[in-house]
Amino acid sequence: MDAHNVFPPDVEEPLLAHPTVRTAVMFAATGPDRLQRAHAAVTVLPGSGVTAEQLHRWVRDRRGPLCDPATILVLPDILPTGTGKPDLGALRAPAVPPGAHAPE
């Protein structure tokens, strides 16, 4: 097995460089195979029509396949927690398949 570390800036910076992305956040989730993978959520300019697949290509073209998150969620808003940080638990729910686990 070939493991590697991916840090939030590795995923967030190329996403934020896309002309239609307003916000981006990376989060981790453990899949059914018990491997932890990077996922991302973004908000985009209204009416931009950008797709997750276009954003995957954008990240791969700028940082390579190792920095391409397993999932990119294109959302109307990224809700904050009471402290103002992105609610990662709420983001994990649609990104992680049933039977998978969120990191502790």
* Residue 41 neighbours by CB distance under 10 Å: 26
Parallel, antiparallel, or unpaired for β 21-30 and 72-75? unpaired
The fraction of the chain above a pLDDT of 90, given in percent, is: 71
Q: With both helix axes pointing from N to C terminus, report the angle between 8-17 and 52-63 in degrees, rounded to the nearest 10.
A: 110
- What single-letter DSSP state applies at residue 101? B
Residue 99 has pLDDT above 70, yes or no: no
pLDDT in tens, 32-63: 888 889 999 999 999 999 999 999 999 999 99
Helices and strands, number each (H, E), in the chain: 3, 3
pTM assigned to the model: 0.85
